Structure 1
């Protein structure tokens, strides 16, 4: 597609460039001019020097939703700027490199069964590394296997008599798989809902499998071991797990947003540009004010793609519809601790998720990341990720580190666990939006004329939900623009 550029005269910021990245991207330092790519179909006013700070659409937030919205706008030849407050794309989907180790910011697994992700992402290029299809459950002083019978039949047969649920429970898992696979996503998202815990009881699962498997396994996905999360979300995740694999990209979870960003025009993403306010102008278009004082104007509208609490702040007074429909529940939080070890000091080689079914302790789940993706650590080194549910604000990083090592010592032995070296702790306050019923997982992204919102809190609180929400926000804007042009 042929493009031409307009030059923005507001104070320069870092822009995202696709060909030189930190690991896979790098920020351009203080360009003298900020350039954004615009299609040849752009109205003349956008390329006019009399309107240097004006573009078609301003997208606020370069997480998965903002990136998906921008990709849809770009496919329709709509000029846009994607503003991001931090120093890289991804939002919560970020990765750091510490001492040669690849540390995702919190426990994050990518499920290949996500329907929207299949349309947007090149799985082969991500070099996805698979987890074992099931889990190792710590209960009664040792580990027990819960396996997917379609992928690990022998393991599943051997696990029929283990104490992680009854034989009836395991047959009910198979029936639940059939039930969700015979429903469309729309049917799942509009179905009568209850909590996940109530759904499991209604299906007939025993307390033993609920407490020893479902609480730590789905509690780790939802960051909610009480299983208060909507049954709709449980069914959707269960379906995606049945259709795909649990994976991590070889180069870290941030490879996902970076691949999306690479689909966008060079310099269309502006980093280190926090937004102070979004206001409607006298001409009924929207003005975006940055915290450094710069002012940007949109011709077609603004798409707000930030976390719910920040969206509420930005839109205070600008959208009564959004304020009225938003019910802010306490978000789900997590703490993730990383440890390194010599690979000879790792007790297992399985690419498995280990979950705590004992009902005691603070560790919910853990895995040896280098067993799944050896690239997560330097040669000869292993990386261990441990996740807790909640924020543990009253405990220091050192206290948590000590408690985790003590607890895991009972799993793998004190000599083994005592040899591991602490690397880093992440406290993720907004790990996931709270999806306790009642929910609306298909909210209208339009909250006003020329104003749209998206994010996983608007949909099903998954990677896929964020991508769907971003696309739908862009499509709502495109629909409104078409209606205006027709008029």
Structure 2
């Protein structure tokens, strides 16, 4: 497929968020583009399946409205976003449940925390949580360029430097951030923590009414008809074109590899290896909702990453009124793991789970890069082979990171073409 003037296209391998964003910028610059996607739908790891009357996101995901790339590129009304509660419920090690909220958005909940009678050892109290105030003020008010230049250490070390009490770390931050970074030792770069915390403070966590897959679908819809070619797996790439899995080939003015880290390294062998995190999400259907609110439920004992009744957030995730409970854990599925998980969920929700129907399990290998220090927040898309590479593994593990990497790579590619 060439442009109207016979010009060879730029080929983008992969129709995830990074690849679609890169393609959009190249198209808007006037270049012909082919986006080659191996799967039958766009999105990469941001996919939503329809099964047994439910929308099942591949892995637990949320959409943060504060990301700059999101605000620049996505028409939010088209997504029909549904918000989570601005806070979480924590099942403490002692078996009680504590509600922690953003006091600027839910003053009544904050007042309840202040005035409630508390038993010893039932999670972080208001005075301990107040220690987060200076850190929150910095992340809320400081420009991102300043946060990116802060001294880098692990998140655990950074929280200790800010003198955040262990009770707050173990009772709230560690279980919450485990679900964000897919690791429960707080080893993630402190710079990434500050940027993520800023986005939490400034934005709203939501779900699109039609699932997270609606985000990449919207980006794909904004490309010219026929630009995205699904079910088109690529076996090899070079700066001059690609070879398909069936042995056929296509030439290109330039090639961008916009796959996950493992696939990118297979296609571009000179790339450095990137450690990644794996997560498994279990989807259960229940006749009645075990928690009548759109709130994340965390476990201070860290037996899970998080769990939520997604149909309380977005009722459109169910076609027949049944509740959809989604729970994420680190690692892969294994025999007996789901049965053990039901026992944990029975304790967390305070209800029986034996009659819950398992409607799906999604293991996402390489769900996020392991962003341990030193972690560059942005890497060039240029490589020694002349092929360009983008993806969250070249930036930060987030929707923002994937789209920002695609943006940077398109900018670099256009600059290089202008110099030829």
TM-score category, normalised to shorter length: over 0.9
Aligned pairs for 1:162-181 within 5 A: 163-181=122-140
Residue 185 of structure 2 is aligned to residue 226 of structure 1: yes
Q: How does 1:286-365 map to 2 (within 5 A)?
A: 286-299=240-253, 301-316=254-269, 320=270, 323=271, 326-329=272-275, 331-342=276-287, 345-359=288-302, 362-365=303-306
SS of aligned partner of 1:435: coil
1:85 aligns with 2:54: no
Q: Per-residue deviation at 1:400?
A: 1.8
Unaligned runs of 5+ in 2: none
Residue 408 of structure 1 is matched in structure 2 by 345
Separation in structure 1 between the aligned mates of residue 297 and residue 349 of structure 2, nearest angstrom: 11
Name 1:466's counterpart in structure 2: 402
Q: Distance in 2 between matches of 1:265 and 1:59?
A: 14
> What's the counterpart of residue 378 of structure 1?
319
Counterpart among 219, 229, 242 of residue 201 in structure 2: 242
Q: TM-score, normalization: structure 2?
A: 0.95
8 Å Cα contact 1:136/1:353 also seen in 2:
yes
In structure 2, the partner of 1:257 is 216
For 1:405 and 1:427, the matched residues in 2 are separated by: 17
Cα drift, residue 432 of structure 1:
0.6
Secondary structure of residue in 2 paired with 1:210: helix
Contact 2:62 2:206 (C-alpha < 8 Å) held by counterparts: yes
Give the aligned partner of residue 145 of structure 2. Answer: 186
Distance in 1 (CA, whole Å) between partners of 2:131 and 2:392 is: 30
Q: Is the 8 A contact 2:258 2:390 kept in 1?
A: yes
Query: Separation in 1 of the partners of 2:145 and 2:398?
Result: 15
Secondary structure of the 2:108 match is helix
* Partners of 1:142 and 1:411 within 8 A in 2: no
Deviations 1:86-117 (A, max 9, x none): 11100000001111101000000111111111
Structure 1 runs of 4+ aligned residues shifted over 6 Å read none
Structure 2 residue 408 is matched with structure 1 residue 480: no
| Pairing 1:447-462 to 2, within 5 Å after superposition | 447-448=383-384, 450-462=386-398
Larger radius of gyration: 1
Q: CA RMSD in A?
A: 1.6
Shift of 1:328: 2.3
The residue that corresponds to 2:236 in the other structure is 277
> The residue matched to 1:446 in structure 2 has which SS?
coil
Structure 1 equivalent of residue 368 of structure 2: 432
- Is 253-262 or 180-189 further displaced after alignment? 180-189
Q: Distance in 1 between matches of 2:384 and 2:237?
A: 13
**Superposed CA offset, 1:359-389 (max 9, x none):** 4xx3221000000000001232111001112
The one of 97, 101, 118 equivalent to 1:143 is 97
Q: Report the TM-score when normalising by structure 1.
A: 0.82
Offset of residue 483 of structure 1:
1.8
1:328-375 C-alpha deviation (Å, 9 max, x unpaired): 22x111110011111xx223211100000134xx32210000000000
1:216 is displaced (CA, Å) by 1.2
Aligned residue pair count: 414
Distance 1:114 1:156 in 2: 26
Matched, 1:101 2:54: yes
How many angstroms apart in 1 are the aligned matches of 2:134 and 2:62? Answer: 25
Assess if the C-alpha contact under 8 Å between 2:381 and 2:388 holds in 1. yes
Distance 1:86 1:185 in 2: 35
Partner residue in 2 for 1:132:
85
Query: Deviation of residue 327 (structure 1)?
Result: 4.0
